[in-house]
Amino acid sequence: MDNRQAIGSWLSGPRQAAEDMGADFGYRGEQLGLPEHGPGAIAPLGRRFGAIAVDWGLCMLIAYGLFARGDSQAMGNWALGLFLVLHVLTVGTIGSTPGKRLLGLRVVSEDGGRLGFVRVLVRSVLLCLGLPALIWDRDGRGLHDRVGRAVQVRI
């Protein structure tokens, strides 16, 4: 074996090494019956992080302006509460938060329909915990999406 090939497979990661051996993973969302590109495809990770940043910034701004009165500890706590309420209300009704709408994303059920209130609530609480959102599967869905049986797709 050529040393360059061994180093390349190590740097490429286990997925690339498995694909080199003949494993076919398909594209993200294929197992869910979603298209590879365009509307209805799995939302890219960068857009999802951008949407969370927009939503968090909006919640921080509201918390600072209405509730915190200069106390940074209180501002963070109020912002987290507002973030939870924002997600439950907007994802539960229209399927997307202001940040998701701005970046062209939507949260739908695995079967393509709307999420019920309980699933939205569970998904939102797990998202506020932070850690479940950082653990995702090969389709790019976070643990909070898997538990809530939800998918973030492009509009």
pLDDT tens digit sequence for 84-129: 999 999 999 999 999 999 999 999 999 989 999 999 999 999 999 9
Strand partners, 153: 42, 106
Give Dmax over CA atoms of the chain in angstroms.
65
Residue 39 CB neighbours (<10 A): 10
Asked whether the beta carbons of 105 and 153 are under 8 A apart, the reply is yes
0.85 cut: is pTM over it?
A: no
Query: Residues with Cβ < 8 Å from 98, sequence gap 6 or more?
Result: 54, 55, 58, 86, 90
